[in-house]
Structure 1
Amino acid sequence: GHAVWCARKFIGNEPFAVLLGDDIVQAETPCLKQLINEYDKTLSSVIGVQTVPKNETNRYGIIDPSEQYGRRYQVNNFVEKPSIGTAPSSLAIMGRYILTPQIFMFLEQQEKGAGGEIQLTDAIQKLNEIQRVFAYDFEGKRYDVGEKLGFIKTTIEFALQNDELRDDLLSIIRDLIESERVKI
């Protein structure tokens, strides 16, 4: 939230996009374009979401949806990192946002939330109390490169999609697996 608030002078009074760098989305229609299309229909802030397993909801901002319009949801509440078993849904915020500039009113006054940080989700919840904020279950595969294993898995998956690298990479992986078996 603090990083977005710091950008307010560059953004001015226009809607803007936020893309968190630890999330990569691979989709036929880019995720950001999907959200822009929804903004154009609603003229409201739109938050990108996808379903996560219930035992992982404590890692994300989660939406409490009310009405559903295809892949778009009207949202009652946004909850930052709820304790396991308390999440209102399994629809998690996935690092892609189109926000109206009114968010800055709330980021300026925002106190530290979950994890001792100024949470963008908390400010979005306050924005939702004065104007509609939608969530959009975007199409595509989301990769989490914000943690070591997710970064490695993403790198391997993308490398395997490259025809020039695929055979050599598979050979390297086979050799690594075999050498690990020998150690056991």
Structure 2
Amino acid sequence: MKKFVEKPAQGTAPSNLAIMGRYVLTPEIFDYLKTQKEGAGNEIQLTDAIERMNNDNQVYAYDFEGERYDVGEKLGFVKTTIEYALKDDSMREELTRFIKELGL
């Protein structure tokens, strides 16, 4: 990877790739985190530390193909939960009945 960007503003993303939040990192990442300054949202961002580590040693990424769920926002979390619950044979019928009872 050439660059990692945490939560770019809409329309400014440098590519159509997204960080999915699953990492295999060496213990070296903790050295970068110890000195990491606050980033997006005034928080220490793991992505920023990975970006710094990438500047010193190449970091690799996996180009995942499949469904991506954004559970970092409330609505995304709810949508994902409902979708997976509807795929579950043990919950589908009761959840479908509940949704119909809401009268939406």
Common fold by TM > 0.5:
yes
Question: Gapped runs of 5+ residues in structure 1?
Answer: 1-74
Gaps of 5+ in 2: none
Higher deviation after alignment, 100-109 or 126-135: 100-109
1:95-114 map, 5 Å: 95-114=21-40
1:132 matched to which residue of 2?
58
Percent identical among aligned pairs is: 62
Q: 2:67: which partner in 1? A: 141
Cα drift, residue 161 of structure 1? 1.4
**Matched residue type, 1:82:** P
Q: Does 1:163 align with 2:63?
A: no
Aligned to 2:17: 91
TM-score by length of 1: 0.51
Question: Measured at CA, do residues 85 and 169 of structure 1 come closer, stay the same or move farther in structure 2, by a change above 3 Å?
Answer: closer
Greater RCO structure (CA 8 Å; 6+ sep) = 1
- What is the aligned partner in structure 2 of residue 18 from structure 1? none
- Whose strand fraction is larger, Structure 1's or Structure 2's? 1
Q: How many aligned residue pairs are there?
A: 104
* 1:81 to 1:146, Cα distance in 2 relative to 1, 3 A: closer
Q: 1:118 to 1:165 in 2, by over 3 A?
A: closer
Give runs of ≥4 in structure 1 deviating > 6 Å: none
CA distance in 1: counterparts of 2:84 and 2:9, whole angstroms? 33
* Cα distance in structure 1, aligned partners of 2:5 and 2:81: 31
- Does residue 174 (structure 1) correspond to residue 92 (structure 2)? The answer is no
Aligned to 1:123: 49
**Separation in 1 of the partners of 2:91 and 2:6?**
40
Please give the per-residue CA displacement for 1:32-59, whole angstroms capped at 9, x wherever unaligned: xxxxxxxxxxxxxxxxxxxxxxxxxxxx
